Amino acid sequence: MQRWWRPVDVIVVLLALSLSVATWLGTTVRLRSRAAAREADWRRVRAELLAEMDRLRDEAERARIRGDQAARDTSGWADGYKQGCDDMIRAVAALSRGAVAGERGAGGQPGDK
Tens digit of each residue's pLDDT (9 = 90 or more) over 38-71: 999 999 999 999 999 999 999 999 999 999 999 9
Is residue 111 domain-resident?
Answer: no
Q: What band does 17 get if pLDDT is binned at 50, 70 and 90? A: very high
Q: What is residue 1's predicted lDDT score, i.e. its pLDDT?
A: 45
Is residue 101 domain-resident?
Answer: no
Q: What band does 8 get if pLDDT is binned at 50, 70 and 90? A: confident
Number of domains in the chain: 1
Q: Whole domain around residue 48: which residue ranges?
A: 1-73
Task: Determine which of 26-35, 39-48, 79-88 has the lowest per-residue pLDDT on average.
Answer: 79-88
Is residue 93 domain-resident?
Answer: no
Is residue 30 domain-resident?
Answer: yes
Is residue 90 domain-resident?
Answer: no
DSSP string for the chain: ---S--HHHHHHHHHHHHHHHHHHHHHHHHHHHHHHHHHHHHHHHHHHHHHHHHHHHHHHHHHHHHHHHHHHHHHHHHHHHHHHHHHHHHHHHHHHHHHHHHHHHTT--TT--
Is residue 23 domain-resident?
Answer: yes
